[in-house]
């Protein structure tokens, strides 16, 4: 009989599961992290590192949600549409319709600033609008695989640059830093030098919650992640050439009774169904580890490289100050920083357009007949026209005084925190209302789901701290 001892080869094979999670990680280390991460570190030092720790809550919610899809074959948003008269779907639709144009306005601004700085001429607003429109055209054309791949490479360069830069800091004291990953509920106030800066006006609690929103698997990526897992052929979709067709077929069966009663009941099939969810556990774990390390590096770079200089990214200077992260390694690396930021931001706006459109389509198609009749590509075109009609004027308003940081923080608050809490509650609810007992999350996983929701609520205490 062969030994069943764990082998290094076996665990290295798990790395092959790292797929959709890599996209989550690359989107996370984008605009919000690049701007707000060093900013938080500059004024709070390492005291808010615990926000990175509690971000594990969104990954647990993502796992429970995608586990449901891989076992049942059902889209979570489709199931939500059958409960409480589609209330959760309606809330998410409102969030998307309001905040995606604001997201577009903020990223047009930051993208324009990096281009204007890199080329040394032109108004950043013109640069931002031109490349924002280009991203929309590419999203509609759907021919963006090379740029997606390029974006991922440069996002990794940014993350590795931050990690190496922090590692080279001579007075880095890990014994002082590590405890702050666990001091949950510690809310520092702005130091005096920040209060004296006239151009930095974002309230600290809003910035803290906005930062949490940069870390989480947002409602946009929560919905998209399950779709990506289907395409990978994980779970019940293993070996399926048309996973969406299977999903629609199973949803029509589900609609007859409002419960999942078509799953096999014998122990071997139950064990196999649960085993087929292992890829998402590995994938999400690897994504969380990458985001955890990169996010900590960004915050510590702000704490040790910007804070002592009393420098902090502001509305009028969102990108330039972070260049010290690369120049701290070697001055000649600053051009690499500029190129990397451009691809990271441009990839983020394209990815954001595509993912937001996909999420809104999936959320609304079972509630509104006119959406269901539209092909996705047509829906994408209409939605992007709407986003740009509102997003470009918002970018113009930001050019003349509307705070980018306040708008970005509010957007991240709703898409990355409030929306995720609602999604998490809804996910736990449908798992226990619609699944057979044998397939429900066990007591430990259910407990972790409850704890995750509580952890995401903790940062709101900053308003009363």
Greatest mean pLDDT among 79-83, 187-191, 235-239, 384-388 lies in: 384-388
What is the span of the domain harbouring residue 294?
26-463
- Are the C-beta atoms of 423 and 83 separated by less than 8 Å? no
Tally the domains of the chain.
Answer: 1
Flag whether pLDDT at 440 surpasses 70.
Answer: yes
| 2 within some domain | no
Lowest mean pLDDT among 42-51, 193-202, 272-281: 193-202
| 7 within some domain | no
Residue 281 CB: number of other CB atoms within 10 A? 15
What is the predicted pLDDT for the residue at 15?
A: 46
| 8 within some domain | no
- pLDDT band at 391; cut points 50, 70, 90: very high
| 199 within some domain | yes
Q: In this prediction, what percent of the chain has a pLDDT beyond 70? A: 91
| 439 within some domain | yes
Classify residue 150 as left (phi > 0), alpha (psi -120 to 50) or beta.
Answer: alpha
Flag whether pLDDT at 39 surpasses 70.
Answer: yes
What is the predicted pLDDT for the residue at 9?
A: 52
What is the predicted pLDDT for the residue at 152?
A: 67
**How many Å apart are CA 89 and CA 79, to the nearest integer?**
10
Flag whether pLDDT at 117 surpasses 70.
Answer: yes
What is the predicted pLDDT for the residue at 8?
A: 44
Classify residue 318 as left (phi > 0), alpha (psi -120 to 50) or beta.
Answer: alpha
| 323 within some domain | yes
Classify residue 264 as left (phi > 0), alpha (psi -120 to 50) or beta.
Answer: beta
What is the predicted pLDDT for the residue at 26?
A: 74
Q: Nearest to residue 49, comparing CAs of 406, 396, 294?
A: 294
Mean pLDDT for the stretch of residues 348-355: 81
Flag whether pLDDT at 186 surpasses 90.
Answer: yes
Task: Give the DSSP letter of residue 442.
Answer: P
**How many Å apart are CA 200 and CA 313, to the nearest integer?**
9
| 402 within some domain | yes
- Are the C-beta atoms of 83 and 91 separated by less than 8 Å? no
Classify residue 122 as left (phi > 0), alpha (psi -120 to 50) or beta.
Answer: left
Residues paired with residue 177 on neighbouring β-strands, in sequence order: none
The dihedrals phi and psi of 429, each to the nearest 5 degrees, come to -60, -50
- The first and second tokens of residue 79, run together, are 């199931």
User: What average pLDDT does the structure give for the chain?
Assistant: 86
**How many Å apart are CA 253 and CA 439, to the nearest integer?**
18
3 state SS of 143: coil
The dihedrals phi and psi of 317, each to the nearest 5 degrees, come to -150, 75
Radius of gyration of the chain (CA): 22
Task: Give the DSSP letter of residue 314.
Answer: B
| 64 within some domain | yes
Task: Give the DSSP letter of residue 120.
Answer: S
**How many Å apart are CA 408 and CA 412, to the nearest integer?**
6
Q: Nearest to residue 174, comparing CAs of 46, 326, 40, 36?
A: 46
Flag whether pLDDT at 3 surpasses 60.
Answer: no
**How many Å apart are CA 298 and CA 120, to the nearest integer?**
26
What is the predicted pLDDT for the residue at 31?
A: 57
Flag whether pLDDT at 384 surpasses 90.
Answer: yes
What is the predicted pLDDT for the residue at 253?
A: 94
- CATH number, domain containing residue 95: 1.10.4160
């Amino acid at each position: 009989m062969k030994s069943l001892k764990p082998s290094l080869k076996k665990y290295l094979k798990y790395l092959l599961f790292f797929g959709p999670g890599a996209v989550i990680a690359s989107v996370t280390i984008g605009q919000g992290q690049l701007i707000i991460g060093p900013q938080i570190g500059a004024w709070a030092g390492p005291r808010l590192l615990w926000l990175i720790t509690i971000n594990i809550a969104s990954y647990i919610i993502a796992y429970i949600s995608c586990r449901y899809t891989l076992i049942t074959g059902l889209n979570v948003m489709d199931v939500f549409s059958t409960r409480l008269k589609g209330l959760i779907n309606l809330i998410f639709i409102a969030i998307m319709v309001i905040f995606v144009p604001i997201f577009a306005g903020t990223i047009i601004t930051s993208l324009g600033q990096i281009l204007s700085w890199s080329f040394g001429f032109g108004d950043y607003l013109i640069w931002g609008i031109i490349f924002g429109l280009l991203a929309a055209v590419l999203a509609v054309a759907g021919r963006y695989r090379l740029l997606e791949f390029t974006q991922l490479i440069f996002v990794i360069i940014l993350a590795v640059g931050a990690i190496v830069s922090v590692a080279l800091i001579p007075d880095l004291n890990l014994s002082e830093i590590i405890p702050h990953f666990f001091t949950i509920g510690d809310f520092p106030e702005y130091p005096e030098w920040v209060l004296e800066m006239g151009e930095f006006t974002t309230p600290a609690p809003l910035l803290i919650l906005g930062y949490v929103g940069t870390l989480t698997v947002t409602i946009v990526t929560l919905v998209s992640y399950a779709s990506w897992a289907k395409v990978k052929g994980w779970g019940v979709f293993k070996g399926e050439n048309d996973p969406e067709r299977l999903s629609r077929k199973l949803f029509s069966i589900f609609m007859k009774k409002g419960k999942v009663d078509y799953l096999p009941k014998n122990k071997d099939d139950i064990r196999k169904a649960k085993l087929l969810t292992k890829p998402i556990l590995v994938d999400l774990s690897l994504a969380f580890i990458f985001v955890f390390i990169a996010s900590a590096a960004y915050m510590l770079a702000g704490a040790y490289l910007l804070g002592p200089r009393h420098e902090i990214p502001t509305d009028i200077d969102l990108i330039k100050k972070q260049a010290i992260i690369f120049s701290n390694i070697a001055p000649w690396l600053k051009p690499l920083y500029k190129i990397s930021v451009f691809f990271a931001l441009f990839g983020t706006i394209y990815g954001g357009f595509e993912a937001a459109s996909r999420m809104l389509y999936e959320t609304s198609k079972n509630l509104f007949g006119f959406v269901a009749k539209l092909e996705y590509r047509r829906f994408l075109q209409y939605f992007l026209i709407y986003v740009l009609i509102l997003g470009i004027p918002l970018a113009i308003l930001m050019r003349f005084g509307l705070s980018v940081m306040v708008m970005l923080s509010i957007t991240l608050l709703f898409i990355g925190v409030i929306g995720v809490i609602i999604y998490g509650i809804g996910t736990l609810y449908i798992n226990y209302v619609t699944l057979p007992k044998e397939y429900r999350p066990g007591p430990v996983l259910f407990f972790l789901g409850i704890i995750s929701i509580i952890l995401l609520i903790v940062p709101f205490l900053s308003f009363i701290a």
